[in-house]
Every structure is written in structure tokens, then in C-alpha cells.
């Protein structure tokens, strides 16, 4: 005879087979094995237990469990430069034969020499020129293929592996842990929305409709009789700093319960999130591990973190120290 307990257990097993329950939740295995015991991990687990406890004072219904994550420096490495900037430099090389004038013309000449300082010297306008020359003019489907092909072959200059393997293992676990607890996980990045969407589902388990990022304008038109979304050389939206709450509001329409970033570009996203009513959690990853990754904060070109270090703790935000809080950094 099967007792009730056995039946429930088998029913749960059956549900797992159907993919209806997360195995970790059903089995009780540690959902965050790459996180050391300590205040950061404790704060995360306590928060999730608070907002998911039925009947508890901080309970939040599943549809309202929204968690937002920055990408560069939060979910994957942003050193020695943003991955998308490495993509831009490679695209300039690939497109150079069609643009012989680039050899003499800044910022393209510097980009072709791999001279980052020269590129930087061209200022924001120069960077924008590089972006438009490499990101616009094609259709959304063509661009997605270019990104996918590039990610399949490009390698991180120091870690010598695909960029999609330069993601942080503890963050993959946190994303899965939140989803197993009914959260919808969103990426909210200053990076290009169409640069991220081709890989976020496979790598992070975040589908394209849960990716928010900077964008260029697009237009719907018939190209050779075939409908296409064409990418135009004009900025549509910059999803950084005060743009992040605006992007969250536009795409999600609800204030998140949890926000996780690593730079001052994430400050307003954490501020917006943690100033909502009820229980909220703001987290900042502090890159303090020069051995396993790169130690940087206040003076870094990419991912500068100063205001967050100064004001974050006073606002109740949790500083996650890579050195102290993470057992390992990258997936094996």
C-alpha cells in the first residue's frame, strides 16, 4: 500500500519529470553551492524565504516577484573591456575591407590598430560612430546571426574561453534559485538589447522578452518583398543610470523586489527597487578578487563603483565580496 507521504513524494517526482517543479526545491539540495556561508548568502536566503512564505507579513504573490540583474560585471566579466566593445573592434576589422577610408579616419584607424586609448580619445561621439557603423544597416535577424557566430568563435583575451563561459557560476545559481521560488528574472543592462538576446536564454535561462538594454531605432519595412525589422543608425534608448528605472518601468511595468548590480550605473536601479513598499533587496557585487578575477572599483573605466560603496551600506544594500562570498567564480 502506498501511504499518503509516499504518494505525495511520487506525485512530486512525477511533477519534476514533467519539469513542473525545480528538482532543487523538491529534493532540498543546496541551491547555492558556490556561495560561501556569510552575511550576503544569508541576506539572500532570508529575503526569499520572507517574500515566499504564504501568510507571512512580507508575502508577495508570484506574479509580482520580479528580480532585475545588470549584465556586464554582474552576470559576466566586463574586464579588460565590455564584451560588446570587443565585438565592436572585431566587427571593425571584419568590415574594414569594405571601407578603405577607415585606415585614415578616426576612430576607425585606432580601432583597427587595437589602440583603445586612441578610441577613447575620440570621446563619446567616436564611440557612437563605431557603434552605428557596426550595429546598424542590417536586419534584426542578420544582426542576431552575426552576434551568434561571433560568440561561437571569439575568446576572452585572458581567460582564453568563449565569453559565454566567462559568466559567474554563483550568479547562475542565484538566477535559478530565484526562478525556482517563483521569481521572474530580468536582465537590465547598459549593453545592447540585441547583442544580449541571442545568448541570454541559453546561458542565463533568461528569455529575450525578459532582457532590457540600450537600443538603436528600428523600422518595419519590406526588403525585397519580405517583411523585416531594419536597424537604423540612431539611438533609441540608453538603459543606464537613471535610464534603468525608466527601462524597467517601460518593459516590466512593476517595481522589482530585488535588484543586483555592480557599478554606479546600477545605482538608480537599486534605489528605485529598494524604495518600494514591503520587503526589498538591493545587492552590489564588489570585484575585490584580483586572484580569481580582477580587483577594481572606484577608478575603473569599465564598471566604476564609488557612490555605491559610499552610500550602499547606509541604504541597506548588501555588498557581495567576490573574494569572501564566492566559493568559485566561473563554471568548470
* Nearer residue to a second copy within complex by CB, 143 or 296: 143
The x, y and z cell numbers of residue 40, run together, are 550576503
Produce one character per residue of 156-177: b if its CB has 16 or more CB atoms within 10 Å, e if not: beeeeebbbebbbbbbbbbbbb
143 in contact with a second copy (CB under 8 A): no
Residue 22 binds a second copy (CB under 8 A): no
184 forms part of the interface with a second copy (CB under 8 A): yes
Set of cell numbers at residue 217: 531605432
Backbone angles phi, psi at 199, to 5 degrees: -125, -10
Per-residue contact track with a second copy, 120 to 139, x per CB under 8 A? --------------------
The 3-state DSSP class for residue 155 equals coil
Q: Which stretch binds a second copy (CB under 8 A): 13-21, 78-86, 90-98, 109-117?
A: 13-21
Decide: 262 and 302 in contact? Cβ < 8 Å: no
CB neighbour class for 201 (10 Å; exposed up to 12, middle 13-18, buried from 19): middle
Closest CB 160 distance from a second copy, rounded Å: 30
Judge whether 88 and 130 are in contact, CB under 8 Å. yes
Q: Among 275, 292, 298, 316, which residue interacts with a second copy (rule: CB under 8 A)? A: 275
> Helices 140-153 and 83-95, interaxial angle, to 10°?
100
Pick between residue 138 and residue 140 the one whose CB is nearest to a second copy. Answer: 140
Q: Determine which residue in the list 138, 251, 295, 306 makes contact with a second copy, applying CB under 8 A.
A: 251
Verify binding: residue 2, a second copy, rule CB under 8 A. yes
Distance CA 230, CA 26 (A): 46
Q: Which residue's entry shows cell 542565484?
A: 174
Question: How many residues at the interface with a second copy, by CB under 8 A?
Answer: 46
Of positions 1, 29, 117, 160, contacts a second copy by CB under 8 A: 1
For residue 232, the surrounding DSSP H or E stretch is strand 226-237
Minimum separation from the CB atom of position 228 to a second copy (A): 9
Choosing from 31, 73, 192, 243, the residue that interacts with a second copy (CB under 8 A) is: 243
Q: Is 204 in the site for a second copy (CB under 8 A)?
A: no
For position 57 contacting a second copy by CB under 8 A, the verdict is no
Alpha helical stretches, state H, the chain: 4-17, 23-27, 39-52, 83-95, 108-113, 116-121, 123-135, 140-153, 169-180, 193-204, 243-251, 267-274, 307-311, 322-325
Q: Among 10, 103, 105, 223, which residue interacts with a second copy (rule: CB under 8 A)? A: 10
Q: Which of 172, 240, 181 is nearest to 212 (CA)?
A: 240
Considering only residues 209-238, where is the footprint of a second copy by CB under 8 A? 209-211, 215, 218-221, 226-227, 229
Q: Give 116 or 229: the residue with its C-beta nearer to a second copy.
A: 229
Q: Kindly list the residues in this chain that would bind a second copy in the complex (CB under 8 A).
A: 1-2, 7-8, 10-11, 14-15, 18, 20-21, 63, 66, 140, 184, 193-194, 197, 201, 207-211, 215, 218-221, 226-227, 229, 242-243, 245-246, 249-254, 268, 271-272, 275
Amino acid at each position: 500500500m502506498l501511504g499518503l507521504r509516499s504518494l505525495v513524494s511520487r506525485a512530486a517526482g512525477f511533477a519534476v519529470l514533467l519539469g513542473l517543479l525545480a528538482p532543487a526545491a523538491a529534493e532540498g539540495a543546496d541551491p547555492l553551492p558556490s556561495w560561501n556561508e556569510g552575511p550576503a548568502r544569508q541576506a539572500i536566503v532570508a529575503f526569499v524565504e520572507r517574500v515566499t512564505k504564504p501568510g507571512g507579513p512580507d508575502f508577495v504573490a508570484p506574479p509580482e516577484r520580479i528580480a532585475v540583474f545588470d549584465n556586464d560585471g554582474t552576470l559576466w566579466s566586463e574586464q579588460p573591456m565590455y564584451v560588446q566593445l570587443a565585438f565592436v573592434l572585431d566587427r571593425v576589422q571584419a568590415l574594414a575591407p569594405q571601407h578603405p577610408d577607415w585606415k585614415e579616419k578616426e576612430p576607425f584607424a585606432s580601432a583597427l590598430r587595437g589602440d583603445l586609448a586612441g578610441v577613447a580619445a575620440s570621446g563619446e561621439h567616436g564611440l557612437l560612430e563605431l557603434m552605428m557603423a557596426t550595429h546598424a544597416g542590417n536586419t534584426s535577424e542578420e544582426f542576431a546571426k552575426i552576434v551568434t557566430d561571433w560568440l561561437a568563435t571569439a575568446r576572452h583575451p585572458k581567460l582564453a574561453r568563449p565569453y559565454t563561459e566567462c559568466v559567474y557560476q554563483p550568479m547562475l545559481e542565484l538566477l535559478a534559485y530565484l526562478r525556482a521560488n517563483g521569481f521572474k528574472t530580468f536582465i537590465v543592462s547598459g549593453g545592447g538589447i540585441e547583442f544580449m538576446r541571442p545568448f541570454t536564454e541559453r546561458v542565463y535561462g533568461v528569455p529575450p522578452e525578459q532582457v532590457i538594454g540600450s537600443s538603436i531605432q528600428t523600422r518595419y519595412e519590406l526588403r525585397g518583398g519580405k517583411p523585416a525589422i531594419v536597424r537604423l543608425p540612431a539611438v533609441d534608448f540608453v538603459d543606464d543610470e537613471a535610464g534603468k528605472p525608466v527601462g524597467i518601468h517601460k518593459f516590466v511595468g512593476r517595481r522589482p523586489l530585488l535588484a543586483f548590480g555592480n557599478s554606479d550605473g546600477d545605482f538608480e536601479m537599486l534605489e528605485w527597487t529598494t524604495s518600494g513598499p514591503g520587503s526589498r533587496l538591493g545587492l552590489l557585487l564588489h570585484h575585490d578578487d584580483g586572484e580569481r578575477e580582477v580587483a577594481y572599483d572606484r577608478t575603473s573605466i569599465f564598471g566604476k563603483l564609488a557612490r555605491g560603496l559610499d552610500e550602499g551600506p547606509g541604504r541597506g544594500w548588501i555588498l557581495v565580496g567576490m573574494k569572501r562570498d564566492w566559493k568559485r567564480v566561473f563554471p568548470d
